[in-house]
Amino acid sequence: MLARRTLICSSWALVVGLGLLAGCSKPAGGGAASAGGGETIAVGAFLSLTGSDSTFGIDTQQGIELATEQTNAAGGVKGKKIKIVAEDDKSSPQEASIKVKQLIDRDHVVAVLGEVASSRSLAGGQVANTSHVPMITPSSTNVTVTQGKDWVFRACFTDDMQGQQAAVFAVTGQHRTKLAILYAAQDAYSSGLAQTFRDEAKRLGATIVADKGYQKGETNFTTYLEQIKAAAPELVFVPNYYNDMVQVARQAKTLGMSGASFLGGDGWDSEDLLKGAAAELEGSFFTNHYAPDVPWPNSQRFVADYRAKFHREPSSLAAQGYDAAKLLYDAMTRAPDLKPESIKNAIASTKGFQGATGTLSIDANHNAQKPLVVVRITGGKFTYFSTAGG
Amino acid sequence: MQALLDALVTGLAQGAMIALVALGYSMVYGVLKLINFAHSEVFMMGAFAGFYLLNALGGADHPVLAAVCGTLGAMALAAALGVLVERIAYRPLRERSRGRASGNVRVTPLVTALGVSVLLKNVAQLAFTARYKSYPQLFGHTRLLIFVVTLVTMGLLQLLVHRTWTGKAMRALSANVEAARLMGVRTGRIIAFTFAVGSGLAALGSVLYCLDQSQAYPTMGEVIGTRAFVAAVLGGIGSIPGAVLGGGLIGILGELAKLTQYSGGQDVLVFFVLIVVLLVKPAGLLGKTGSEKV
């Protein structure tokens, strides 16, 4: 952890340092670079670089870093280089709003990128909205994150759409009509997905034979799984996070339930899920933003670039971070000037933006309209299965 | 009917683990009248010690050897940690407040205990990262094993407290520290011993817990710690059979709640029961006011 953080810090220092060097050398070179000069545009990022969700923050930061590097290499925005000012919110909503305030007041950033967790995007978004600085969240899917906030956008789909598409996939795509649901009752993400899944599945004519909420932080799922097993569903929808899912999957296996009987949401997307329970979940599905082997040219290019830079497989959070940054830079390029108001209007009018996670347009509610990917766990890996909605 | 029976069995196993942790709260309270909030973090540290030991000992290749030696090793490490916490954080405070009858005698160690809890949690996050560590899966079903291990441990502990000189000294200390000291009981040593035993039991509970529920992480102490504390209070804090009874009740109630449609609010039920019991019997189910404790 420490070593990794130092590595990231030093690589950031390197990027920033190189940016400064490039900036300094230009004026010395003469009038040719007068349009850009030594100026940089500061863009803020607030992410969970430490704390319980540190993998979310670090992956997203790498995606943003890659996007920024590519944009700067291609000449930057309006002839100026982008400089990312990244702040760590320590996986806490309180800290998130403080950091966003700092980015705006101290660093005078023109826009803010951030957070993965909806709770922290809500906290940070509140500050960005009242300060009138545009913000794009790469992967917060809770509906309320952008609701009623003129200055907050997202580069991903919402929980509503995800739950609904999961139900369509289960009932229409896989022809399963006896369904069960297991979700974390106190978690907005989990219970939100369960709610829309339940409604849509019923509308499509399926029956919910077992519907159990569990206490957040629960670790013993045996009793729930026994009840679900007794109800004999054809598919069990478990919209929770990967940490919980490892335990659910392992305990389900001791009860003799097949991995292929589970369906999840984007909360499953972590290499830790594969490390903990790849064998137990063989054949299961989940809805996601993206898969490493998704057959879209933009995604393939992103995966290759990411591998070359970081020597590992990108997670969907890295792809989302990359897209959010690229979306912002695209809007900044299209905007007539770099005033927050102009950037905001340019983001709002985004249509047909080609990202690593598919082609997206920003709708009237500031949400991204884009396709959703169904991923299957086979051979201990996440593999692309199909595309839905969009 | 089958569902009810299954839930009861799972509840008993869950309760047995909670009871192992509850014993630590109860024993320390019995001797020092201190609620050791750092206990849940000792539980967590025990889980990590077990994780590394189990893997080092060959994990799933030698399940029995790894389980037995790994558990004993984790217990020893946790016992050492418990004694260390007592020595560094609690003993200096106790010695400084000796003979004084102000309110601080109770409050200061309590605040220190909370501080130690936060410290240990953060140390664990730095040392092991916040990522969840998946335990090696040694056995399929562990419920029966957990239940038997807990019952045997309770029996041994009851023998220790009521049939040995050390146990007698612990009980003497619980009745009156100053009087015990005057009678020649080495109070410092007995207190350290109490911490060692309580922490060792917490580590036993945590390794069993992780073998059953599979993951170790720095904040794992919060959930189980709260339930164990409630179990200790419910059964009558300071009483060994009380901790076992409290743990069992909470385990079974929790599992039964999962059968209802209000399963998401399991803890609401648990705390409701606690409040009702305390209203009717303020000292807990088996707690006695003003008599023998430990």
Q: What is the ipTM of this complex?
A: 0.83
Q: Are residues A140 and A178 in the same domain?
A: no
**B129–A54 CB contact, under 8 Å:** yes
DSSP secondary structure string, B85-119? Answer: HIIIIIHHHHHHTTT--STHHHHHHHHHHHHHHHH
Residue B46's closest CA among B78, B92, B22? B78
Interface test mutation site (partner B, options A182, A208, A220, A226, max chain B beta carbons within 10 A)? A220
pLDDT for residue B79 = 96
Amino acid identity for residue B1 in this structure: M
Question: Chain A: residue nearest B7 by CA?
Answer: A223
CA distance A289 to A315: 10
Per the prediction, chain A carries an average pLDDT of 87
Domain range list for chain B: 19-220
In which band, very low, low, confident or very high, does the pLDDT at A16 lie, cut at 50, 70 and 90? very low
Domain boundary among A270, A288, A306: A288
Q: How far apart are CA B215 and CA A220, in angstroms?
A: 11
Mean pLDDT computed over A327-334: 95
Task: Name the token pair of A281.
Answer: 């979940």
Quick one: pLDDT band at residue B138, thresholds 50, 70, 90? confident
Q: Do residues A183 and A192 make contact, with C-beta atoms less than 8 angstroms apart?
A: no
* Tokens found for residue A286: 């989940």
Answer yes or no: do A280 and A309 share one domain.
no
Rounded to an integer, the average pLDDT of A105-116 is 94
Q: What percent of chain B is modeled with pLDDT above 90? A: 38
**Gyration radius of chain B over CA positions:** 19
Q: With a cut of 50, say whether residue A30 has pLDDT above it.
A: no
A17 pLDDT more than 70: no
Question: Mean pLDDT across the stretch A115-139?
Answer: 94
Cross-strand bridge partners of residue B134: B215
Distance between B48 CA and the closest CA of chain A, angstroms: 16
- Do the beta carbons of residue A241 and residue A55 sit within 8 Å? no
Instruction: Check pLDDT > 70 for residue A375.
Output: yes
Q: Both tokens of residue B202?
A: 């917490």
On whether the CB atoms of residues B70 and B143 are closer than 8 A, the answer is no
Residues A159-215 have pLDDT tens digits of 889 999 999 999 999 999 999 999 998 887 898 899 999 999 999 999 999 999 998
- The three-point CA angle A346-A347-A348 to 5° equals 90
Residue A19: pLDDT above 90? no
The amino acid at residue B74 is A
Q: Which residues of A touch B3 (CB under 8 A)?
A: 223, 226-227, 230
Looking at per-residue pLDDT, the higher value among A329 and B129 belongs to A329
A219, A223, A241: best mutation site toward chain B, by most B Cβ within 10 Å? A223
Question: Which amino acid is located at A62 in the chain?
Answer: Q
The burial of A135, by beta-carbon neighbours within 10 Å (0-12 exposed, 13-18 middle, 19 or more buried), is given as buried
Q: Which domain covers residue A10, as residue numbers? A: 2-157+296-371
Residue at A253 is within a domain: yes
Same structural domain for residues A9 and A149?
Answer: yes
In whole angstroms, what is the distance from residue A23 CA to residue A36 CA?
A: 9
Measured between beta carbons, the chain B residues lying within 8 angstroms of A251 are 213-214
Token digits for B83?
């004694």
* pLDDT value for A34: 32
Q: Do both A55 and A172 map to the same domain?
A: no
Whether A219 is in a domain gets the answer yes
State how far the Cα of A31 lies from the Cα of B101, in Å rounded to an integer. Answer: 81
Would you state the pLDDT for residue A14?
A: 47
Q: Which of B130, B141, B264 sits opposite A52 (nearest CB)?
A: B130
CA distance B228 to B209: 13
Phi, psi of A257 (to 5 degrees): -90, 140
CA–CA gap between residue A334 and residue A346 (Å, rounded)? 6
Q: Do A318 and A232 share a domain, yes or no?
A: no
Q: Which of B51, B263, B268, B269 to mutate to test the interface with A (most CBs of A within 10 A)?
A: B263
H-only helix segments in chain A: 2-29, 54-73, 93-105, 118-131, 159-168, 188-203, 222-230, 242-254, 271-277, 297-310, 316-334, 340-348
Same domain, A16 and A163: no
User: Does A256 share its domain with A143?
Assistant: no
Instruction: Tell me which chain B residue has its CA closest to the CA of residue A90.
Output: B130
Closest approach of A219 to chain B, Cα-based (Å): 6
The partner residues of B258 in beta bridges, in order of sequence, read none
**pTM attached to this predicted model:** 0.80
Q: What is the pLDDT of residues B5-39, one digit of tens each?
A: 888 988 998 899 999 999 999 999 988 888 899 99
If one counts the domains in chain A, the total is 2
Q: Do both A169 and A242 map to the same domain?
A: yes
Higher pLDDT, A10 or A154: A154
Q: Is residue A390 part of a domain?
A: no
Which pLDDT does position A225 carry in this prediction? 93
Average of per-residue pLDDT across B142-159? 87
Q: Which of A63-67, A270-274, B147-151 has the highest mean pLDDT?
A: A63-67
Which residues of chain B lie closer than 8 angstroms to A89, CB-CB? none
